[in-house]
Chains A and B, each alone.
Chain A
Amino acid sequence: MRTSIGTAGVSLYLALQLLWSSAPRAGASRGDTTATDPPPAAAETPVDTAKAVDRFVPAITSYVTSTDADVSLGNRMDIETDVGRGWTLANSISIDRRSYRQRALQELSESFTNTATKAHPGLYMLKLNIGEKYRKSKSLGLGRFGQDIIFDNEDAGVKFVLTKPILKSAASRLALTAGARKGMNDFKFDRALSGSASGAINYAFGELLNVRGGGWISGRRETSDIGKARFGPLRSNADSLNAGLSYGAGAKKTLKVAYSVYNGVDRKVMPPLGNTYEVLNDPTKAKQEETRNRLEALDISSFLQPFTFLLLDFKFSHEIVDAAYKVDTRLSNNSESNYLDAAASYQYASEGSVKFTVSTRDDVSDYGPVSLSSYREREHIVGVGLSQMIGEPISVTASGSGALKQRFYLKQDQNPRDADYLYYRGDLGFKATTKNRKVSTDVKMTVDRYETINIDNTLSRDNRVDYKYQVGPTITVGPAAWVSISQDYILKIEYTDFVFTENKNYLNRTTSLNTRANFKIFSALRLGFMHGYFMRDTGSYLMRGAGRRYSPTNDTRDNTLGLDFSYEVSPGFDMKIRSDFSIQRNQVFGSKEGRKIVVSTSTVESGGMRAGFTRTKKFGESGDINLDISYMRYYGPYITPENREYVEANSTITLKF
């Protein structure tokens, strides 16, 4: 931390020196311009003049966040300095302390970053950075209970980007980066050096054809100390190549092709089985993991509009992912995926259109020759959607889709888990508004059917169909400008139908009705009233005698009343009070001598109140205050003392100098 503070002090000193001398230097630099120097762009002069006012901009932000789970206090200071000649310095320091309400636990985070950037638009950008991040928290683990877990890293880096187009290209970007990092990461102390080089180039042929290509290489050298044991240096590297072309105008090109390939080796020291406690006791148990990754991807897409009323979309992708782990071998896998998607949108009239989609996918996931988990999966999806306006105030939308997913395990004899999944869904929506806009209605209906088909007889007793039906009409009435009343109703029925084991079948019905009334009494005073009714019953749906009978086993009814009050004291200053009250009645049913009886009844009353204010105020360019503070109080069973009464806050104060 001291190193960073020292560096920040030097950079701040330099910034102030440059700041005070910037005006004469700026004048001199303009006067020094020779005939060989490129003339400054016309837009640069007014920008420089404008920035002269804000060459040194410190900003301080303090915040408090309080929720039912934790309280955070933090402070952040940012200083931006335009030192002239294209150089900008950015310094930032922040500290955050979080305390948890339910546990004796605190977390402390500090970060400190300094960045110096020199940008020459259209030519290059140079960026230097140095910083430190620190985080401390307490461990709850049985092996390390009460101990500090500390992450404390210092890093420095440099990045140079050449943005001037090269080799007669339309655009190009060449970048070099280098970085160093050292610090404590819980159980180990790491030192690392890294670097990368990348390039991308883009050629345009006319206005329609665009060709691009690029690549990058990177490397890292890391040493890790755990206690007195040293691991490394561990070398990692990666490289990537990509190429692509596009043909066509606009955002959606007629044809787009993209190909990329990535190869990498990553080496690092990790605790055995991810458990830090064990490696702290015995550092020799640390594992030196080596991961070899390869990724290859090809994407082709096409978009055509042969007629104004017809749109055609086509996509194809092919991807190969290969990850090989040296120690944690079960992380290794190899997968290959092919995906094809086609869509056609047909506008059959000015008020209506229909869209058809078809897609298919074929994946292979291979976990090695001895694994029983390897499988192949195929999926086919078909969908159709319709949108129709019936006059201006009425619209109808409908859509349906079906999908079949089939999984084939490569070692079916030893692992008979082959399964098919069949899915259908339908949606219907209806919206209408009266001509005077005082009454509007919105109705949504959904039907879902999801079937799980295990093929082998050892698993087929689990075969089932999950059904879901939902209807949700909403009506809103606004008889006068100062009042609006809305009511929404949702009826949802869900049930699971086991194909072979009917004794598992059961059904859930959920019905809810919400009524809301909002009154705008004065321009500053608003009052909202809400009543909610919620009913849910659950029961078995078994074959008895002549047919299936529904036997309810559980019934819940909940009535909730809510009141919202808000008053705008002045622009940016609002007072708000919200309260709600809920009565829930639960009944459990049973049977006695063949008749349904109520076995138990319970009633739960609960509620809460929130009273507070929000205050927002801007001080021109000098900063702003955002306060949102509320007193919360809840009552009802099962509420811990910490959650019964507390203050909720989300407030920030920002000052710029």
Chain B
Amino acid sequence: MRRACAAGVLILVMIGSNGCLFEPRTAEEPSGTELYPWVVPYVFGDVLRNLSTGLASNVDSNYQRSLDDAAFTFIPTDADAISIGPEKFAGWNKAVENEWLRRIKTLYLGARTVRFGDEGGNFTSKIEQTNRVVLEGEYEIGLEPTAGAPKEVYAGIARFTLVRGTQGWVMAEWRDLEASGTNPTSGYLRGTLRQ
């Protein structure tokens, strides 16, 4: 029993030894001002706003905090899965989306925008329940490789499932349904940039 207690103490020491077990690097004091404030997602529309500012901003937290920790997934169109390969979309979860976001921000250093719904922000279908909303409609992602450079447009029709989790509303699923016009889809953007 004493040995069990000793082992338990060892565990507690390890848990409590914040900063002793590992030595991370020291961060620099921040510079500049925050252009994209976080909106606490009391209503589901706030999730779309935080995703938009999270993509535009150089910092990632608005986008990352808008995704469901456990359930977030992305599902491509059949055409993208065949074109790029289903293995590029396998097990797409929040960690994969975060890596994809970081890659986007290293490739597109100019303006980054995302629009959910048509130009008026409307969706073709909206199913609302108390803790779950399913939106279906257009989206458009615009990315400038450098500031002022011609914008790359990724667009399509998708179904967005938003749920109310323990930290407010979050996105649980982004399912691409179709391409829109001649633009490549978000699935193409995701699949080709998966690390």
Contacts and interface: CB of A to CB of B under 8 A. Distances in A.
B122 interface: no
A638 B188 contact: no
A584 B167 contact: no
A508 interface: yes
A420 interface: yes
A330 B18 contact: no
A453 B25 contact: yes
Contacts of B18: 424, 449
10 contacts: A278-B182, A348-B3, A348-B7, A349-B3, A400-B12, A422-B19, A458-B58, A460-B27, A499-B27, A554-B42
B185 A275 contact: yes
Given A142-B181, A460-B29, A636-B129, A426 B11 contact: yes
A494 B7 contact: no
Interface stretch (A121-129, A223-231, A379-387): A379-387
Contacts of B192: 328, 330-331
B21 A143 contact: no
Question: Chain B at the A interface: mostly helix, strand, loop or mixed?
Answer: mixed
Contacts of A614: none
Interface in A134-149: 139-144, 149
A333 B192 CA distance: 11
Contact of A447 (B15, B23, B42, B188): B15
Contacts of B24: 404, 406, 420, 422, 451, 453
B195 A348 contact: no
Interface in B142-195: 156-157, 166-168, 177-185, 187-188, 191-193, 195
A295 to B, nearest CB: 12
B32 interface: yes
B125 A102 contact: yes
Given A273-B188, A460-B29, A426 B15 contact: yes
Given A384-B11, A402-B14, A457-B29, A143 B22 contact: no
A538 B128 contact: no
Contacts, number: 212
B30 A538 contact: no
B97 interface: no
Interface in B77-135: 78-80, 82-84, 102-103, 105-107, 125, 127-130
How many of chain B's residues touch chain A, expressed as a range? Answer: 35 or more
A606 interface: yes
The 6 closest A-B pairs by CB, nearest first: A638-B128, A141-B178, A462-B59, A273-B184, A461-B30, A404-B22
Given A365-B195, A460-B27, A277 B15 contact: no
How many of chain A's residues touch chain B, expressed as a range? Answer: 35 or more
Interface string A488-503: 0000101010011100
A462 B4 contact: no
A155 interface: no
A424 B15 contact: yes
B179 A143 contact: yes
Interface string B8-39: 10111011011101111111111110100110
Interface in A348-400: 348-349, 352, 354, 365, 371-373, 380, 382, 384-386, 388, 390, 396, 398-400
Contacts of B42: 538, 553-554, 588
B11 A400 contact: yes
Contact of B27 (A274, A417, A449, A463): A463
Interface in A622-656: 636-640, 643
Given A273-B184, A456-B28, A501 B14 contact: no
A140 B177 contact: yes
A139 B8 CA distance: 60
A420 B25 CA distance: 7
Given A349-B3, A606-B130, A386 B106 contact: no
Contact of A584 (B106, B130, B183): B130
Given A386-B8, A460-B30, A508 B103 contact: no
A516 interface: no
B27 A455 contact: yes
Contacts of B168: 508, 538, 554
A451 B27 CA distance: 12
Given A275-B184, A456-B28, A501-B30, A638 B7 contact: no
Instruction: Identify which of A365, A453, A459, A464 gathers the most chain B CB atoms within 10 Å of its CB.
Output: A459
B106 A373 contact: yes
Contact of A398 (B8, B37, B181): B8
Nearest to B177: A140
A494 B30 contact: no
B67 to A, nearest CB: 13
Given A354-B7, A638-B129, A494 B167 contact: yes
Given A140-B177, A348-B3, A426-B11, A459 B58 contact: yes
Interface string A607-622: 0000000000000000
